[in-house]
């Protein structure tokens, strides 16, 4: 695999489409500075997925788009296309040629494509990861990359090795698994808390559920017994209703037959009434004739009496007139006048009696006629209304019963509606209360959410602070470790394999230690002081000459080698204190030493002067040849001797100064480490406090969620209960409206019937007419007529007598006068009297004859009247019998109607009972009546639902045979169930459902918990597997790279020694990689102790060790060899040639010798228009 071509369009300085075709081997890209060579490197990094604008030498990503020049406008997008030859199949894709392109638009948005198909950044990274070209892009070594490697920590160096070894994809897999594991851990913690809370709730709820489960069994028993008893009641009521309905048909036939018999009786009554009506005129006529005959007989008797009186007057008149005198006549006249007055009074009394008799007769006749009419009307009303009254009474009674039943129904429905409304109101009030609580909880939960978010943010900030503290502590600890290691290395440099070292470790008395350890040199002048001291810089300090002698004897005796000794307390030679040339200082002024050792050190330092550099040294020595000068770099000059150059190692004084300086840095670093540790503890405590606060906020939030969930369930139940109660109230209201409508219609009909019944009853107060009253009035009328006749006869008699007496007194008076006046007139009057007497006698005889005839007529009229009265009595008897029969038939119908009414009431009551039982079945059991009877009727066998101990049967129990229905046994069963239910006490009807739901949730969460534990185990296994794989791959890669580094380093540092060192060999997953390098002639191995050039070359050795041990298909090197001299460049080019055999190299260089090694050259230029141009040249041979 190798890079085949690179096409740039609008990328940085490549305004026009530019294609670079590459070949295997080494391709050199050359050109002047600023021409755009490094832009090619940036384009390669960018197209392979680089996301950091700083790594592309920009401030933001759209800086890669051609920004325009004075002559060309800016472009709207940048596009780079990389074509890779995949003939060897290194890339995991079924193409021999792979094209990767990336486009960035100035308006925003970025697109990737693989072989023309849209892809993701992750797809590109995954495609290139197995080739060693990861996100760190170690295959691209740009400008300044070596310095980054030099400054890199051991962990970053490990990253280079991992990328070269292809470990990064495993790292990504591990990171992904670790993120999932952390999420799983958090879910496990939440689930564990939730399961604990649910388990805590399950225990009391389980007890309630056990009671509810037992209550459910008892309630099932009670419901079953109640259902069967209610079904039996309903069946019995329906049978009774059917029997009543069957009896109704028989009663209807009886009433029809009774109506037929009543009609027949009414027909006979009508015939009797017709006969009575026909008999009444004959009776009246006979009575009128009798009355007339009686009146005529009375008149004849009066005429006969008057005629007899006149005859008597005529017979005695002669005697009276002959024997009487005028005085007698006057007396008789007086008596006549008195009799006349008496008669007049009698006539007046008779007139009054007649008037009264006439009035009584008219009244009696009127009363009789009215009684007769009323009697007939009453007879007809009795006949007409008896059946109607019974029927109306039955209808009124039926309507009354219906109204009473309707009123009871309305009351019951009203009570049911009121109870439903009360339940609905109660549920709604509870609903509103709970809704208020939920609102409060919601408001509180907002605060809880805010608290939890604040706690989470505080926790995140505390963790970030802790992470920053850990990072700072690690950095400080690494710094402490580095300084400690540096001190160790410097102290190792102090340990020499000579006599001084032997004496220092032999414990010889009087040996004070190395002289360098007693000196304090001004910073920067250590090399100069060491050069002046010469071998004394490596000497030991001893207390006195005796100690020095003892030390020399010890060296000789034990064959420990040679050592220099500086004796403390030597006599002071009084060094010169004169002036020194300008710009110089005495070397002894640069050193501080304990006073006992000062004379010896001053003697050793002599009169050497310190200057900055050789120029000043030559100037000082030229001015005064007697002076001896040392430069800051340790070069010694005098008029007769000079010494200088680079030494093979540092002097003890330099090392001691470096140790002192490093120890001060180490002390500062340790103090910083202590502060970092203390800050880390505080950050850890803050994290713990924030974690507790977050856990508490989360717990409160979970409790609020649980409370809101419970309240939501209660609100749901209350809403359902309210809706059910409202629906029940609406049904009851509709039923009440219907009942009221029926009741209003019945009341209207009842009012009309009552009016008709009251009218009928008011007329029936004389319902059974009494003929005695009529007969009494008839007799009274007859007696009144008789009395009137008698009064009339008496009046006529009185009138006749009065008329006969009228003027008699005057006549007697006149007669007496005339008697006195003329006797002659007496004879004439006697004659007239005789004639009147004769007439009266004739009249008397005629009256007697007429009286006999009238008497015969009266007897005949009496007989006729008696016959008419007998006929009338017979008619009355017939009509009374007919009316009695009608009354009896009416009573029979009335009795039948009353019986029908009672049966109707019983039927209505039975119907209402059936309806009430049906409604009761719906209200109590929620079942239609037919369904209840079909399922629980008395003809259905009863299954056994419980064991003998009262617990419910299960599927595992042997199912006993059903038993037949026994009402008494079912009543006992119902009572037992009610007692058992009462003994259970208060029951939470939702406990079983809540327990099942909570238990199901607990089981579900437990399963989820186990699944999460399995997932955690799987993720941990994946992480362990990835760690094992990473450890294996990294170990192999490290071993190979370490071996390669051991061979590459001597090639770049002939005679030198270098190796890679693990910072923590016991932890291959996290250990860093440090570099130990010891160039030839030097004893230090730490890179921090090397010079700048040496460190750069070590970095090159490290990179090329990666390239060789884990080769990638290609490498891009941007002016890597720019700072190397010819010798080192030759060594590097040799490695180039070796690396170019297996990998493609793209080298940006200014070195001609590098160009000579290239197989192809690309020249990059930029003219005044600011656009990069590319020229290619393939080299042959």
Q: pLDDT by residue (tens digit) across 367-403?
A: 777 777 776 656 555 655 555 665 666 667 667 767 7
DSSP string of 892-911, one letter each residue: HHHHHHHHHHHHHHHHHHHH
How distant is the alpha carbon of residue 1074 from its chain centre? 60
Sheet with 642-643, edge to edge strand ranges: 585-586, 609-611, 629-631, 636-637, 642-643
pLDDT at 182: 85
> Domain tally for the chain?
4
Residues in the chain: 1181
- 982-997 average pLDDT score: 73
Phi, psi (rounded to 5 degrees) for 1155: -60, -35
- On whether residue 979 sits in a domain, the answer given is no
How distant is the alpha carbon of residue 85 from its chain centre? 60
Asked if 931 and 300 touch (Cβ cutoff 8 Å), the reply is: no
Look at residues 1083, 1111, 1139 and tell me which one is the last residue of a structural domain. 1111
- The domain that contains 1162 carries what CATH number? 3.40.50.300
Place of tokens 């699944």: 1011
Instruction: Evaluate if residue 925 carries a pLDDT over 80.
Output: no
Instruction: Evaluate if residue 532 carries a pLDDT over 80.
Output: no
Per-residue pLDDT band at 766 (split at 50, 70, 90): very low
pLDDT at 574: 57
- On whether residue 965 sits in a domain, the answer given is no
Q: pLDDT by residue (tens digit) across 837-874?
A: 777 777 777 777 877 787 788 888 788 778 877 877 77
* More confident call, 877 vs 578: 877
- On whether residue 726 sits in a domain, the answer given is no
Q: pLDDT by residue (tens digit) across 8-49?
A: 999 988 888 899 888 888 888 898 888 888 888 888 888 888
Q: Tell which phi-psi region holds residue 25, choosing left (phi > 0), alpha (psi between -120 and 50) or beta.
A: left
pLDDT at 101: 94
- CA atoms of 747 and 749, how far apart (whole Å): 5
* More confident call, 581 vs 172: 581
- On whether residue 488 sits in a domain, the answer given is no
Instruction: Please check whether residues 514 and 636 belong to one and the same domain.
Output: yes
Instruction: Please check whether residues 517 and 617 belong to one and the same domain.
Output: yes
Per-residue pLDDT band at 937 (split at 50, 70, 90): confident
Cβ partners under 8 Å of residue 950, min gap 6: 214, 217, 218, 980
pLDDT at 455: 78
Residue 1116, SS3? strand
Asked if 297 and 855 touch (Cβ cutoff 8 Å), the reply is: yes
Q: pLDDT by residue (tens digit) across 1146-1157?
A: 888 888 888 888
Instruction: Evaluate if residue 1061 carries a pLDDT over 90.
Output: no
pLDDT at 1110: 77
- Give the mean pLDDT of the chain: 76
pLDDT at 322: 46
Identify the CA nearest to 269 among candidates 109, 384, 414, 98: 384
Range of the domain at 68: 1-139+1114-1127+1149-1180
Instruction: Please check whether residues 1084 and 1162 belong to one and the same domain.
Output: no
Instruction: Evaluate if residue 605 carries a pLDDT over 60.
Output: yes
CA atoms 751, 755, 758, 760: torsion sign: negative
* More confident call, 825 vs 565: 565
Give the residue ranges of DSSP H helices in 495-534: 499-506, 526-533
Look at residues 598, 617, 650 and tell me which one is the last residue of a structural domain. 650
* More confident call, 219 vs 87: 87
- Name the β-bridge partners of 1162: 29, 1176
Asked if 609 and 619 touch (Cβ cutoff 8 Å), the reply is: no
pLDDT at 575: 59
Lowest average pLDDT, out of 103-117, 373-387, 1020-1034, goes to 373-387
Instruction: Evaluate if residue 823 carries a pLDDT over 60.
Output: no
HEC letters along 855-879: HHHHHHHHHHHHHHHHHHHHHHHHH
Instruction: Evaluate if residue 788 carries a pLDDT over 80.
Output: no
Instruction: Please check whether residues 78 and 202 belong to one and the same domain.
Output: no
- CA atoms of 422 and 725, how far apart (whole Å): 8
Does this model's pTM top 0.95? My answer is no
pLDDT at 103: 93
- CA atoms of 663 and 485, how far apart (whole Å): 11
- 1041-1051 average pLDDT score: 86
- On whether residue 437 sits in a domain, the answer given is no
- CA atoms of 1151 and 302, how far apart (whole Å): 198
- 989-998 average pLDDT score: 74
Instruction: Please check whether residues 24 and 127 belong to one and the same domain.
Output: yes
- On whether residue 232 sits in a domain, the answer given is yes
Look at residues 898, 925, 952 and tell me which one is the last residue of a structural domain. 925
- On whether residue 111 sits in a domain, the answer given is yes
- Name the β-bridge partners of 19: 7
pLDDT at 81: 95
List binding-site positions for ATP: 32-39
Instruction: Please check whether residues 182 and 236 belong to one and the same domain.
Output: no
Residue 1180, SS3? coil
Instruction: Please check whether residues 18 and 86 belong to one and the same domain.
Output: yes
Q: pLDDT by residue (tens digit) across 317-342?
A: 444 444 456 677 677 778 777 777 77
Tokens read off for 647: 């030494």
Phi, psi (rounded to 5 degrees) for 763: -75, -20
pLDDT at 841: 73
CA atoms 503, 508, 513, 515: torsion sign: negative
Instruction: Please check whether residues 182 and 280 belong to one and the same domain.
Output: no
Q: Where are the beta strands (DSSP E) in 26-163?
A: 26-30, 77-85, 97-105, 110-114, 117-119, 140-141
- CA atoms of 1105 and 1123, how far apart (whole Å): 20
pLDDT at 654: 62
Instruction: Please check whether residues 514 and 633 belong to one and the same domain.
Output: yes
Instruction: Please check whether residues 1103 and 1008 belong to one and the same domain.
Output: yes
- CA atoms of 274 and 281, how far apart (whole Å): 12
Taking only Cα atoms into account, the Rg of the chain, rounded to an integer number of angstroms, comes to: 76
Instruction: Please check whether residues 229 and 183 belong to one and the same domain.
Output: no
List binding-site positions: 32-39
- The domain that contains 606 carries what CATH number? 1.20.1060
Lowest average pLDDT, out of 184-193, 493-502, 865-874, 1013-1022, goes to 493-502
pLDDT at 80: 93
HEC letters along 963-975: ECCCHHHHHHHHH
- On whether residue 341 sits in a domain, the answer given is no
- 823-829 average pLDDT score: 59
pLDDT at 403: 74
- For residue 1018, CA distances in Å to 177, 674, 936, 1027, 1031 come to 9, 40, 58, 14, 19
Q: pLDDT by residue (tens digit) across 640-681?
A: 667 666 554 555 566 666 777 777 777 888 778 778 777 777
Q: pLDDT by residue (tens digit) across 1077-1092?
A: 888 766 665 666 677 6
Per-residue pLDDT band at 132 (split at 50, 70, 90): low
Identify the CA nearest to 1136 among candidates 1109, 1160, 1117: 1117
Lowest average pLDDT, out of 87-101, 526-540, 701-715, goes to 701-715
Instruction: Please check whether residues 1107 and 1118 belong to one and the same domain.
Output: no
Lowest average pLDDT, out of 236-250, 331-345, 501-515, 814-828, goes to 814-828
Q: Percent of the chain having pLDDT more than 90?
A: 2
Q: Percent of the chain having pLDDT more than 70?
A: 78
């Amino acid at each position: 695999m190798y890079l085949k071509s690179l096409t740039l369009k609008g990328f940085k300085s490549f305004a026009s489409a530019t294609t670079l075709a590459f070949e295997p081997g080494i391709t050199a890209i050359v050109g002047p500075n600023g021409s755009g060579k490094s832009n090619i490197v940036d384009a390669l990094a960018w197209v392979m997925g680089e996301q950091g604008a700083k790594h592309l030498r920009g401030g933001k990503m759209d800086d890669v788009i051609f920004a325009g020049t004075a002559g060309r406008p800016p472009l709207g997008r940048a596009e780079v296309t990389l074509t890779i030859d995949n003939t060897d199949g290194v890339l995991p894709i079924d193409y021999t040629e792979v094209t990767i392109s990336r486009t960035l638009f100035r308006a925003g948005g970025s697109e990737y494509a693989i072989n023309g198909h849209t892809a993701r950044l992750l797809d590109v990274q995954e495609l290139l990861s197995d080739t060693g070209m990861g996100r760190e892009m170690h295959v691209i070594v740009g400008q300044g990359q070596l310095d980054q490697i030099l400054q890199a920590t051991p962990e970053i160096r490990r990253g280079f090795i991992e990328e070269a070894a292809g470990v990064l994809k495993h790292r990504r897999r591990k990171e992904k698994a670790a993120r999932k594991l952390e999420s799983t851990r958090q879910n496990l913690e939440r689930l564990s808390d939730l399961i604990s809370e649910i388990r805590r709730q399950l225990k009391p709820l389980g007890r309630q559920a056990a009671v509810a489960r037992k209550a459910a069994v008892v309630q099932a028993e009670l419901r079953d017994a109640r259902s069967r008893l209610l079904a039996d009641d309903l069946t019995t009521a329906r049978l009774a209703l059917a029997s009543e309905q069957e009896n109704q048909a028989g009663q209807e036939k009886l009433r029809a037959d009774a109506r037929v018999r009543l009609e027949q009786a009414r027909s006979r009554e009508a015939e009797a009434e017709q006969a009575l009506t026909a008999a009444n005129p004959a009776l009246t006529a006979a009575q009128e004739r009798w009355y007339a005959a009686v009146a005529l007989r009375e008149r004849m008797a009066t005429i006969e009496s008057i005629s007899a009186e006149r005859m008597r007057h005529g017979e005695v008149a002669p005697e009276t007139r002959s024997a009487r005198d005028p005085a007698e006549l006057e007396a008789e006249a007086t008596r006549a006048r008195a009799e006349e007055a008496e008669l007049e009074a009698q006539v007046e009394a008779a007139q009054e009696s007649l008037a009264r008799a006439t009035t009584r007769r008219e009244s009696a006749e009127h009363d009789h006629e009215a009684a007769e009419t009323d009697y007939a009307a009453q007879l007809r009303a009795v006949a007409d209304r008896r059946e109607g009254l019974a029927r109306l009474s039955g209808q009124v009674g039926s309507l009354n019963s219906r109204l009473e039943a309707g009123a009871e129904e309305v009351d019951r429905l009203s009570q049911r509606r009121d109870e439903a409304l009360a339940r609905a109101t109660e549920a709604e009030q509870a609903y509103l209360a709970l809704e208020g609580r939920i609102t409060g909880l919601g408001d509180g939960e907002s605060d809880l959410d805010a608290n939890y978010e604040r706690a989470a943010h505080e926790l995140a900030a505390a963790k970030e602070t802790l992470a920053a503290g850990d990072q700072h502590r690690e950095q400080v600890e690494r710094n402490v470790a580095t300084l400690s290691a540096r001190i160790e290395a410097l102290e190792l440099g102090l340990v020499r394999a000579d006599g001084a070292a032997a004496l220092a470790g032999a414990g010889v008395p009087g040996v004070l230690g190395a002289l360098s350890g007693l000196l304090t040199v001004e910073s920067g002048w250590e090399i100069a002081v060491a050069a002046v001291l010469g071998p004394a810089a490596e000497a030991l300090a001893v207390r006195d000459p005796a100690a020095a002698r003892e030390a020399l004897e010890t060296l000789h005796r034990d064959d420990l080698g040679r050592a220099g000794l500086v004796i403390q307390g030597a006599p002071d030679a009084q060094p010169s204190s004169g002036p020194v040339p300008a710009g110089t200082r005495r070397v002894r002024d640069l050193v501080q030493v304990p006073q006992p050792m000062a004379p010896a050190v001053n003697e050793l330092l002599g009169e050497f002067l310190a200057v900055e550099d050789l120029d000043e040294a030559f100037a000082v020595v030229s001015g005064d040849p007697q002076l001896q000068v040392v430069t800051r770099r340790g070069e010694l000059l005098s008029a007769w001797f000079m010494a200088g150059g680079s030494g093979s190692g540092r002097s003890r004084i330099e090392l001691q100064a470096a140790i002192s300086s490093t120890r001060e840095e180490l002390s500062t670093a340790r103090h910083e480490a202590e502060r970092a540790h203390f800050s880390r503890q505080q950050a850890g405590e803050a994290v713990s406090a924030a974690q507790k606060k977050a856990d508490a906020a989360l717990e409160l939030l979970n409790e609020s969620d649980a409370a809101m969930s419970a309240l939501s369930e209660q609100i749901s139940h209350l809403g359902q209960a309210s809706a059910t109660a409202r629906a029940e109230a609406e049904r009851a209201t509709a039923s009440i409206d219907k009942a009221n409508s029926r009741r209003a219609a019945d009341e209207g009909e009842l009012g009309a019937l009552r009016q008709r019944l009251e009218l009928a009853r008011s007329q029936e107060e004389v319902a059974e007419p009494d003929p005695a009253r009529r007969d009494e009035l008839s007799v009274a009328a007859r007696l009144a007529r008789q009395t009137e006749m008698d009064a009339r006869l008496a009046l006529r008699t009185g009138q006749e007598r009065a008329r006969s007496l009228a003027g008699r007194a005057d006549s007697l008076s006149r007669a007496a006068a005339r008697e006195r006046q003329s006797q002659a007139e007496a004879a004439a009057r006697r004659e007239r009297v005789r004639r009147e007497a004769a007439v009266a006698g004739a009249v008397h005889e005629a009256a007697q004859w007429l009286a006999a005839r009238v008497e015969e007529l009266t007897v005949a009229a009496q007989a006729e009247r008696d016959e008419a009265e007998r006929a009338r009595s017979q008619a009355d008897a017939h009509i009374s019998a007919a009316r009695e029969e009608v009354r009896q038939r009416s009573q029979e119908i009335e009795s039948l109607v009353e019986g029908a009414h009672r049966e109707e009431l019983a039927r209505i009551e039975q119907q209402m009972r059936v309806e009430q039982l049906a409604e009761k079945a719906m209200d109590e059991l929620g079942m239609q009546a037919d369904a209840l009877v079909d399922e629980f009727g008395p003809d259905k066998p009863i299954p056994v639902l419980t064991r003998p101990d009262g617990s419910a049967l299960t599927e595992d129990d042997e199912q006993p045979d059903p038993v037949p229905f026994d009402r008494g046994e079912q009543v006992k069963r119902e009572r037992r169930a009610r007692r058992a239910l009462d003994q259970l006490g208060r029951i939470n009807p939702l406990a079983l459902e809540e327990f099942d739901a909570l238990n199901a949730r607990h089981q579900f969460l437990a399963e989820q918990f186990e699944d999460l534990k399995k997932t955690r185990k799987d993720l941990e296994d994946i992480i362990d597997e990835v760690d094992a794989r990473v450890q294996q791959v990294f170990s192999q890669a490290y071993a190979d790279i370490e071996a390669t580094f051991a061979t590459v380093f001597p090639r770049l540092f002939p005679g030198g020694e270098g190796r890679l060192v693990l910072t923590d060999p016991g932890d291959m997953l996290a250990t860093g990689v440090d570099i130990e390098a010891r160039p030839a002639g030097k004893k230090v191995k730490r890179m921090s102790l090397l010079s700048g050039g040496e460190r750069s070359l070590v970095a090159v050795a490290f990179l090329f060790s990666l390239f060789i041990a884990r080769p990638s298909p290609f490498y891009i090197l941007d002016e890597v060899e720019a700072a190397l001299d010819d010798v080192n460049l030759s060594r590097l080019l040799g490695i180039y040639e070796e690396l170019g055999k297996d990998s493609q190299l793209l080298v940006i260089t200014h070195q001609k010798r590098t160009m000579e090694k290239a197989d192809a050259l690309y020249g990059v230029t930029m003219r005044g228009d600011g656009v990069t141009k590319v020229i290619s040249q393939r080299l042959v041979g």
